[in-house]
Amino acid sequence: MLAVIVASWLIRDVDAIGFGQLWRYWAGLHEARTGAMPTTSGTDLVLFVVYVAVTVAALRAASAASALVVAGVVTLAVRLPGLWTIGSHRMEAAYSGDLCSRALICAFVAVAAGAAMIITAGAGRRPPADSYERTPLGPGPGAGVLAFLALCAAGAVLIAWEIRQVVRDPYFFPDWYVGGDRIAQYLTGPPPGWATVVLALLCVAAGISAAARAPHARPFGLVGAAVLLPGGVFGVVRIVHYDLLEHFGDQSTELRLSLLSSFFQALAALAALIALAVPGPVRAPGQDPWGGGPGWGPAPVTPPHHPGYGYGYPQGGSGGFGPPPPPSQPPPGW
C-alpha cells in the first residue's frame, strides 16, 4: 500500500512537470522551470525502493521483522509532520485545495500503516523453534566497524550543520523543524530540519547496532544509508553542474566545508550500503547446540573409560559395586 501511495505521487509529478525538470528541482538547480509545484522529493523515490524491498523481505528473508520495524519507523518519521503542515497557509497558497486534501488523506493512511507495521513485527516475534530455523544475521566484524564509522560520522556531520543552521538563521526557528509559513517544503515531505534530525538519529542508531553486530543492524543500516544517499548525490550534482571545484580555494570556509560534506555524505552512504549488503558469517545448523550432536561448537568430550570402577556392573575385574561377574568355568565339584 505504501509503495502504491508513493508511486502515485511520483507519477503525478512526472506527468505534471516532466522527469527532467523534476530531477533538476530535486537536485536544487536554480534553472529548473516547473509549470506546477512538485509534491515529492528524492527521498520519496528512495522510500519507494525501500517499500518494495521490505515487501520482498517480509515474504522470504529471515530479517522480515526488523525490515518491517525500520520501514514503519521511517514512515512515521517522514509522514507524521504532514498531519499538521499540509493545512498551513503556505501549503494552501502553493497547492490546490483538492491536492492538499488528497495529501492529508495519504498522510493519515501512511501513519496508520507505519504504526501497523511496527505492531505486526512486535506481535510476530518469537524465539526460534529449533536450531534449524533461520534467524537474522548481523554484519561481519569488519563490515560492522566500517558501517559504524560511516553512519555515525555522517550523522555527526548532519547534526553539526543543524546546529550551524540554528545559530546562523534563528529567524526560521522553530518552523525549520515543525513546519510553518516561514519555510518552504514539499507537500508530502517533512520540514527540512525535522528530516535532517531524524536521518541523523537513524544513522547513529544504525551505526551503533552495526558495531554491536546486532541482528537488526543490517535492515536499519541499509535503510539509513539509502535515505542518506540522495542528499549527498544531489549535492555532488550541484557541485559538478556549477563547477564549484574550479575555484575551491577562493570559496569561503563554510562553503568549502559544505562541498566536502556533500562528497562525504555520498561516500559514507555507499560505504555503508556495500558493507551491510552481505550478511555476516552463518552458523552451521544442527541439533541443540548445548546437547551435542552435529550442532554449533565442538563436540562434547567423552570421558576415558576406567574398567572396574564406577557405579553399576563393571566390565571386568573387581572393585566395583554389585555382584562379581560369573567365573569362566564352574568350581570343582559343581
At residue 75, what is the residue type? T
Q: Is residue 285 part of a domain?
A: no
pLDDT band at 126 (very low <50, low <70, confident <90, very high): low
Specify whether the CB–CB gap between 128 and 136 falls below 8 A: no
User: Is the per-residue pLDDT at 327 higher than 70?
Assistant: no
Q: Which position has the higher pLDDT, 27 or 317?
A: 27
Specify whether the CB–CB gap between 195 and 240 falls below 8 A: no
Most confident residue range from 213-217, 269-273, 275-279, 303-307: 269-273
Q: Is residue 189 part of a domain?
A: yes
Q: Is residue 331 part of a domain?
A: no
Q: Is residue 112 part of a domain?
A: yes
pLDDT band at 30 (very low <50, low <70, confident <90, very high): confident
Reported as a single tens digit per residue, the pLDDT across 93-118 is: 889 999 999 999 999 999 999 999 99
Q: Is residue 91 part of a domain?
A: yes
User: Is the per-residue pLDDT at 181 higher than 80?
Assistant: yes
Percent of the chain with pLDDT over 90: 57
Number of domains present in the structure of the chain = 1
User: Is the per-residue pLDDT at 238 higher than 70?
Assistant: yes
Determine the structural domain holding residue 14 and report its residue range: 2-29+36-125+136-277
d(CA 1, CA 225): 23
Q: Is residue 8 part of a domain?
A: yes
- Residue 291's CB is within 10 A of a number of other CB atoms, namely 10
Please classify residue 321 by burial: count the beta carbons closer than 10 Å to its beta carbon, then call 0-12 exposed, 13-18 middle and 19+ buried.
exposed
Q: Is residue 287 part of a domain?
A: no
pLDDT band at 62 (very low <50, low <70, confident <90, very high): low
Mean pLDDT, residues 162-185 taken together: 90
Q: Is residue 195 part of a domain?
A: yes
Q: What does the pLDDT read at residue 74?
A: 96
